[in-house]
Amino acid sequence: MRRGAIMAGLAVALAVGGLVLWQARPAAQGPLVLGGNVDIRELNLAFRTGGRIASLAVEEGDRLAPGDEIARLDAAPQRAALAQAQGALDAATAAETLLKEGARAEEIAQLAAQVAGTEAALRNAEATYARQKALKTTSVSLQQALDSAEAALGQAQAAHEAAVQAHLAAVTGARPAEIAQAVAQRQAAAAARDAAQIQLDDAVLTTPEAGTVLTRAVEPGAMVAAGTTVVTLSLDTPIRVRAYVGEPDLGRVAPGTRVLVFTDARPGAPYHGTVGFVSSRAEFTPKQVETQSLRSALVYRLRITVEDGDTALRQGMPVTVRLAAEAG
């Protein structure tokens, strides 16, 4: 009888243990449903240089392609600066060319003739001085004549030496250091001309990406400083969705996961997308995500690229995201 009681107690214990294990089993995972919003991507476009706006080519709501003109500045100051820089470059280029080519044969011959002329003048001055010096007298007038002859001799010597050096420089050409200096001056002038050209090009503002004009912040005739926003462009290509997933479901989404994106406007016709980024940092769910169970939970942000988006997907619009593999 005692043995029967023991067996009955053991059976009860096994039954209770099994019940506890069954109740503690992991719940089956249901379809993953995530809340999110169409990502807001805006670009403030501005001139890199200041000036007076001459024209605006867009209105709010206009659809723009890359390279479309948005606005123009009055470019008169930039054109004048470019002309001045081009003139300085032309002068520096000519000076460099003259140094590299050296003197022409005619110029060298002219300098040689100047050397011969100054040499003859020097010989004459030397003879005149020698004659005056040979006259040994205390006469004041003769002493003055000697002083004049000595001064004329000095001037003739200086003129002859200058002519000789000019002829030598023409024959030997410019020194390497002089040519290097001319090259550097020409390069600096070219850089200044390029900077002036950039300033002129910057007088036209174009759009770098496709998008829609959200706001037009200025009007023609207004003076704007560099960096002042002219228009705000909404970038809608590619369309991206920002969604959030809780930690228990983090393993169900990874870069490359195919998803379906639903909107209230077309609940039966979802868009198709791919998870492109999963944040490595947890954060609290933003308030705009209408998922009550995740409102106070730590979640991870997803970035989803929509492949077949259209104009019905507006930036900031709330969406529901489901895994494509679970849609069937």
DSSP conformation class of 297: S
Provide the CA 167 distance to its chain's centre, in angstroms: 52
- Hey, how many other C-beta atoms are within 10 angstroms of the C-beta on 217? 14
Q: pLDDT tens, 149-159?
A: 778 778 878 88
Q: How confident is the model at residue 122 (pLDDT cuts 50, 70, 90)?
A: confident
Domain 30-40+237-326 has CATH 3.30.460.80: no
pLDDT of residue 24: 40
* Position 26 confidence tier, pLDDT thresholds 50, 70, 90: very low
Adjacent-strand bridge partners of 33: 322
For residue 5, pLDDT over 60 is answered with: no
pLDDT of residue 78 exceeding 90 = yes
C-beta atoms surrounding 32 within 10 Å: 17
Per-residue tokens: 66:
């890359």
Residue 310 main-chain phi, psi, to 5 deg: -140, -170
pLDDT band at 194 (very low <50, low <70, confident <90, very high): very high
Report, as an integer, the average pLDDT of 246-275.
89
pLDDT reported for residue 29: 60
Tens-digit pLDDT profile for residues 10-24: 555 555 455 444 344
Average pLDDT over residues 239-248: 88
Q: What's the pLDDT at 54?
A: 96
Percentage of residues of the chain with pLDDT beyond 70: 78
pLDDT for 28 equals: 46
In this predicted structure, the answer to whether residue 25 has a pLDDT above a threshold of 50 is no
Q: Could you give the 3-state DSSP secondary structure of residue 273? A: strand
191: Cβ contacts below 8 Å, ≥ 6 apart: none
Which residues, 6 or more positions from 83, have their beta carbon under 8 angstroms from its beta carbon? none
Every domain of the chain and the residues it spans = 30-40+237-326, 42-74+202-234, 80-198
Radius of gyration, CA atoms only, the chain: 45
**CATH class, range 42-74+202-234:** mainly beta
pLDDT at 120: 76
The C-alpha atoms of residue 62 and residue 69 are separated, in whole angstroms, by: 12
* H-assigned helices in the chain: 2-23, 76-101, 105-134, 140-172, 176-201
Longest dimension (CA), the chain: 172
Whole-angstrom Cα distance, residue 39 to residue 302?
Answer: 11
pLDDT of residue 186: 93
What is the DSSP secondary-structure string of 52-112? EEEEE---TT-EE-TT-EEEEE--HHHHHHHHHHHHHHHHHHHHHHHHHH---HHHHHHHH
Which residues on adjacent β-strands are paired with residue 301?
Answer: 244
**Which pLDDT tens digit goes with each residue over 176-187?**
888 889 999 999
